[in-house]
Structure 1
Amino acid sequence: MLFLNPDILYDNLSESFQEVQFYGPNSRKLKLKRPLIYKFGMDFESDRLYVAKADDLSDHPNFTKSVVLVCIGTPEHKIYYSASFTLICLASKYDIVFVMNFLQGLFDRYEEWNNSLREIVDNNKDLFELVDKVVEVFNNPMSLVDIDLKFIAYSKDYKDFAAQFPELHCQDDDQMKVSYEIFLECKDKIDHNRKRKRAFHGFSDRINADVLCVNVYEDDRYVCGCYLVELNRKFRPSDEALLEHASSYITKCVNKYVYIQSSRTDWLKAYFVMNLNGENIESGFLRNEEYLSKKEYYVCVKCKLVDTSKMLLGKYLCEHLETVIPNSVVFVHDDVLVIFIYSNFIDESSNFLVNLEYQLKNLGYKAGISNSFCDIRNASTYFKQACTAIDIGIKFNPDRTLFKFEDYVLNYVALQTCKEFSPDTLCAKGVLRLLEYDQENATSYFKELRTYLDCQMNAVKSSQELFIHRGTFIKHMEKINEIIKMDLSDVNDLLYVLLSYKIIECQGIN
C-alpha cells in the first residue's frame, strides 16, 4: 500500500479545483492514509486524511500531530490553523461526496502505480520497463546514468530528447553515454552531487531546463543517478518525494544490472592478470565464452612512476583511477601499474586522453598506450606494446606524459633491426656517404634531404623551411642525388632512405 503526503494532495487538488489554499506544516514523508469523512465530535487519527465541510467542524477538536484535513469552505476556528494541523481548503461550492471520490481515486491511482512498480521488480522484468512505468506520474523524460556515465536505462521519450542535444550524448555501440566533454566540464559538480542522499534540483544551461535528480546507492556505494528533465510539464513539489519512492524500486531492479556489470569487471580484471602472468586460462571459471566472444575494443596502458614523492598505495591508487577513468580496469602487475580501458570511449573524444594525462601527471606517472585490440586473449601482446611505447617514448620525448605505440612503431622497428646488424651495415650506403660528405665539407646536405622528405619532396616548401633560396636548394638537391645515387621516385629506394634516417636517429649517429 502506498501512502501519500500533503504535497501530492495539494498539487492534484490545485489542478482540478478552484480556490485551493494550503495552511500549516508540510511533510514530504509518504505516510498519509486514505481519507475518511469527518463527523462532528470525531477524534482525529494521526497520519490520516479527513474530508469535511467547514460548517461540520467541531469548535474543540481532539487531534494529534500529522493530521491533514481537506476542508470545503474556510474554518472559522483558529485551532485549525495551528502549527500541528495541515489544512487544505477548497471553495465552499463543492460537494463533499465528489471531493471524497476524487481523493479516493487519487489514492487508487498512486497505489496502482506503486503495485505496478513492485510487480516489475518482483518478476525481474526489464529496467527500461520499470523506468517507463515510473515516469507515468511525472510525464517527463527520465534516464538512469551509472558511475561510468553509461545510460543503463531511459524512458521511451528520452531518446528523442537526447537526439536534440547530440553534444551532450554519445553512442557507444548500442549504448548511449554522457559525452566525455560534458563529464570534464561538470566533473566537480557531478562528484559533489553523487554524495547527496535526497532528491535535488539542478538547472542545466545547456538544455535550458530544470532537472530533478535522486541517487541510487547499494550499501553506501553510488550505483547510478536518476534524472528527470522538466520537458512536458512543470515539476511539482510532490515530485521529489515520489521520485525518492520510485528510486527504492529502481535500487532493487538495478542491483541485478550492477551485479552483472560488477561480475564482468571482476572477470576482466582476473582474466587480464592471469593473461599477463602467462597462466593457463583455457579452462575453469575464466573460460567464459560469452565474455570472450563479446566484440569490444580495449587499449592497454602501462604506467611508470617518475615522481616518487607522489607514490600512493597500490590498492588505493587502483580504486582511485577506476573512479576517475571511466570504463577502466586497473591493477598492479609485477610492481607495475596496468590499466585496460574500453577503447571506444577513447576514440570518441580526444579529451579523454587529456583527462588521462591530467590524472596520471598529478599522480607522478608517465604511461605507454598500446594499439586497440578486440581479442582479449592477446592482452599480453598489447601489454608489451604499452611497455615498448613508454620505454622508447621517454628516450626520445622525455617531456611528454603519454606515449602511444603507434607514434613509435618506426622507432621500434629501427631499434629491433639493429639488434642483429650494426647501423652501418643496415643503412643505405648513399645516406651514409651523405653524412660522410657533410663531415668532410662542412655542408648540411643530410639535414636538407631529411627536410625535403618531410615536406613530401616539395622543393618550394623545403627551401622555405631551410630559409634558403629555391634555386640554391635545387642545386643542393642535384648534388645530393649525385652523392646518394638513389632514385627517390622509386618507392623501395624512398622507403630504404627513410628507414635509414630512422635508424640513424634511433642510434644517435652523427
Structure 2
Amino acid sequence: MRLNADIVFDHLPESLSPRMQGVKESAMRLRRPELYETGCRELEPDHLYVIREERLPQRVTVGKGCVIVCIGNSARLRWFAERCCVITISGSADFYAVFNTVQRIFQHYDLWEDTLYNIISDDASVEAMLEASQQVIPASMLVVDAMFGCVAALGKQAERAVAAGGSETVPSFVPATKHISVSSMDQFLATHDPSTEVSGAFRFEFEDMSTINVNLIDDEGYHGCLTVIYPDSEPKPGDSPTIEFLASLVLRALRQQGLDPDSERSALRDSLRAIVSDLPLDAYGKAALQAASERGTYVCVRLKLAHKLRQIPLAYVRNLLEADIAGTVAFEYRRSSLVAFVRLDDLAEEGSRRAALEQMLMPLLRSMEMRAGMSDHVGNLLEAKAFFLQASIALENGTLLDPDASPLYKFQDYALAEMVVNSIGQFPIEMFYTSGLRKLVAHDAESPTSYIKTLKCFLDHNMNVTHTAKALYLHRSTLIERMERIRELLGDDLSDPDVRLRLALVFKAIELHDDMQDRFEERSGSTWL
C-alpha cells in the first residue's frame, strides 16, 4: 500500500526526535523505503529514501513527491527541502533500526489494506471494516447512509451518538438508528452545513471535539458519510488521506451489499435516467421499461428544492419518495432536481388515483418547500422523455405564472400557455397583429373604452351577446353598437374559426406577457423584456 509523508511522519516514534520540512505531497503515492545507493544521480518521484547526513549526494535530480528520511542534520538539507520533503532523525539513531521502523509502518498499512479487502470479499460488513481500522485510526467512527441513518458505529462517542441521537457531548448532527425525518432536517443542516457534495475530507469543529468526514459519493450521487470523531485529541495530518482511503472501500462494500436492494427497481431507474438524458438504451433497458409498462400506468413528477434548502441531498428526497409511495422510481437529474415516475395503479381506485398521489405529495412539498410539475398519464415508459418534458413545462410555467399557488403544477393547466409561447417564438407579439387589430389598439390608446377587452370577452363567451353584455355590465343594445364599430375597424369575419383562433392566440399571448411582466416587476422592480 502506498502512503504519504504525513502518514510516515505521524507514526515515527518520539524517541527518534523526528522533524519534517520541505515540499510534500498529500496524495498517497509514496513507495516503500529504499536505501540510497552511493553514486545515484536521481531521487525518483514518489520514492522514500533512508540516508545518513554524511552520505547526502552533492549533485542529484530530485523527482516530485520524493521523501528523504535523513539520520542527522546537515546544511545541505536546506537545498533538498526546497525540492522535496525532508524528515530528519536524531543523529544518534541506528541506521538499520530507522530503516526497519519505516518499513514496519508500510507493513502495518499493508496488513490493514489486506484485512479490508478480505472483509469486502467475504460479507462486506462495514462494522467489521471499522473494527479493523482501529489499528490505524484509533478513534470513534460512524457511517451513515443517504437517509442519514446509521449503517455502522464503533467507539464510545459514536455509539453514544447513535443511542442518544445527539447530546451535549456528541455532535448533534449524528443521527439515531432511524432516518432523520423531514421535520428534523433544519437541525441537521444547522450543524452539518451544506457539505454533502464535498468530495474530499472535510473537518467540523465543536466545543469539545473535532470530526473528519468523507462523503460516500459516486456517479449515482450521495450515498452517505464516514465520520471519525476525536473527543480527546487533535487529528493528525496523515489522518485525512487515511480516512479518505477507508471511505473509498466502505463505498465499495456498500455497492457490494447493494446500495439499492431492489435490483429490478435499479434497472428501471437506470433505463429511465438514460431515456430522460437522451442516452442510448440497450435491449435490456428496453425490456425493463416494457415490463414495467405492462404492470401499470405512471405519471412523471419533476421536483425542485427551494433555494435555501438546496444543500439537502437529493438522494435523501429520492429515498423518501420511494419509501413512502409504493411503485415509485426516482433519480437525480443534472444535480439540480429530482425526477420520479410513480405507478398509479396501487394508490387508489380508478378515477381517484391522481388525487391520491397529490395527497401523498403535498406534505413533502410543503415541509421541504419544494415545487413540482406533474405530467399526464404515461402508458408506455419508452415514451418517458415526452412526459418528463411535460412535467418540466408544468414546473417551469407554474413557478413563473403561479408562484403563490399550490406547489404542485399539472401540465394540462399550462399546456395552452406553452403552445402560445412556442407559436410566437422569438417574435414580439405585435408581429402577429392584423391591420384591423392594430386599429383597435390605436383606438384604445386614445379612448377610455377598450375595444380589445370587449372583443376578447365577446370571443370568450362564444360570441353570445347576452352573456357578454352581462360580463361587461353593459346594456345589450350598447354592446351591439360597440361590436358593430369593432367589426368595422377589425375588417375580419368573426364567423371564420381561423380568424377567431388567431385572435384568441394573440389575446392569450398578451395576457401571458402582462402576467409575466407583473411578476417580474414584483420581484425585481425592473421591466421584463
TM-score interval for Structure 1 and Structure 2 normalised by the shorter chain:
0.5 to 0.7
Q: In the alignment, what sits opposite 2:119?
A: 120
Provide closer, same or farther for how the CA distance between residues 226 and 5 of structure 1 changes in structure 2, counting only shifts above 3 A: same
Q: Is 1:359 aligned to 2:368, yes or no?
A: yes
| Aligned CA distance change for structure 1 residues 27 and 268 (closer, same or farther; 3 Å) | closer
> Cα distance, 1:31 vs. partner?
1.0
Q: Is residue 2:209 matched to residue 1:209?
A: yes
Question: What displacement does 1:85 show?
Answer: 1.7
Letter in 2 for 1:314: V
Contact map agreement 1:71 1:87 (CA 8 A) in 2: yes
* Cα offsets for 1:468-508 (capped at 9, x unmatched): xxxxxxxxxxxxxxxxxxxxxxxxxxxxxxxxxxxxxxxxx
Q: CA separation of 1:210/1:320 partners in 2, compared to 1, >3 Å: closer, same or farther?
A: closer
Q: Secondary structure at the match of 1:226?
A: strand
User: Closer, same or farther in 2 for the Cα pair 1:136/1:25, shift >3 Å?
Assistant: same
- In structure 1, the partner of 2:26 is 28
Note if contact 2:143-2:225 (Cα within 8 Å) is conserved in structure 1. Answer: yes
Which residue is 1:314 aligned to?
301
Q: Is the 8 A contact 1:53 1:71 kept in 2?
A: yes
CA RMSD, 1 decimal? 4.0
Is the Cα contact below 8 Å between 1:5 and 1:31 reproduced in 2? yes
Superposed, 1:249-268 pairs within 5 Å as 249-261=249-261, 263=263
Paired residue secondary structure (1:315): strand
**Residues 1:134 and 2:133 are matched in the alignment:** yes
Superposed displacement of residue 149, structure 1: 1.2
* Residue of structure 2 in register with 1:348 after alignment: none
* Aligned partners of 1:140 and 1:233 also within 8 Å: no
Residue type at the aligned position of 2:368: Q
The answer to whether the Cα contact below 8 Å between 1:48 and 1:67 also exists between their aligned partners in 2 is yes
Give the structure 2 partner of residue 73 of structure 1.
Answer: 72
User: Shift of the alpha carbon at 1:80?
Assistant: 3.7
Q: 1:262 to 1:210 in 2, by over 3 A?
A: farther
Say whether the 8 Å CA contact 2:77–2:86 is kept in structure 1: no
Offset at 1:62? 3.5
Q: State the shift of 1:131 in Å.
A: 2.0
Structure 1: distance between partners of 2:75 and 2:88: 12
Counterpart-to-counterpart distance in 2, 1:177 and 1:320 = 13
Q: What CA distance in whole angstroms lies between the structure 1 residues aligned with 2:264 and 2:359?
A: 13
Counterpart of 1:363 in structure 2: which amino acid? R
Measured against aligned partners, the alpha-carbon deviations of 1:235-267 in whole angstroms (never above 9, x if no partner) come to 111111011111221111011344344559779
Note closer, same or farther for the CA distance 1:105–1:179 as it changes in structure 2 (3 Å cut): farther
**Equivalent residue for 2:14, pick from 16, 23, 30:** 16
Cα deviation code 1:290-325 (max 9, x no counterpart): xxxxxxxxxxxxxxxxxxxxxx97134697993495
Native 8 Å contact 2:302 2:372 kept in 1: no
- Determine whether 1:198 maps to 2:200: yes
Structure 1 contact 68–86 (Cα < 8 Å) conserved? yes
SS in 1 for 2:244: helix
Instruction: Report what 1:147 is aligned to.
Output: 146
In the TM superposition, 1:187-336 aligns within 5 A as 187=189, 190=192, 192-205=194-207, 208-231=208-231, 233-261=233-261, 263=263, 314-316=301-303, 322-323=317-318, 325=320, 327-329=323-325, 331=342, 333=344, 334-336=353-355
Deviation at residue 176 of structure 1 after TM alignment:
4.6
Residue by residue over 1:69-126, the C-alpha shift from the partner in whole angstroms, topping out at 9 and shown as x without a partner, is: 0011112225643432211111211111111110111111011001111111122332
Match of 1:487 in 2: none
Task: Give 1:57's aligned amino acid.
Answer: L
**Conserved in 2, the CA contact under 8 Å of 1:314 and 1:332?**
no
Partners of 1:80 and 1:87 within 8 A in 2? no
Gaps in structure 2 of 5+ consecutive residues: 270-290, 293-298, 306-313, 329-341, 345-352, 374-405, 408-529
1:309-458 aligned within 5 A: 314-316=301-303, 322-323=317-318, 325=320, 327-329=323-325, 331=342, 333=344, 334-336=353-355, 338=357, 357-359=366-368, 363=371
CA distance in 2, matches of 1:233, 1:142: 14
Question: Which residue does 2:36 correspond to in 1?
Answer: 38
Which whole-Å CA distance do the structure 1 matches of 2:241 and 2:201 have between them? 8
Partner of 2:188: 186
CA 19–321 in structure 1, closer or farther in 2 if over 3 Å, else same = closer
Alignment-mate amino acid for residue 239 of structure 1 = D
Q: Tell me the distance in 2 between the aligned counterparts of 1:20 and 1:82.
A: 15
State the partner residue of 1:110: 109
Q: Which amino acid aligns with 2:357?
A: V
Which amino acid in the other structure matches residue 136 of structure 1? Answer: Q
Corresponding letter in the other structure for 1:93: S
Shift of 1:232: 5.3
Letter in 1 for 2:45: S
Does the CA-based 8 Å contact 1:151-1:178 persist in structure 2? no
Quote the residue 2:389 is aligned against. none
Q: Which residue of 2 aligns with 1:437?
A: none
| Paired AA for residue 204 in structure 2 | G
Q: Return the letter of the residue paired with 2:367.
A: Y
Structure 2: distance between partners of 1:112 and 1:18: 24
Q: 1:50 touches 1:68 (CA, 8 Å); kept in 2?
A: yes
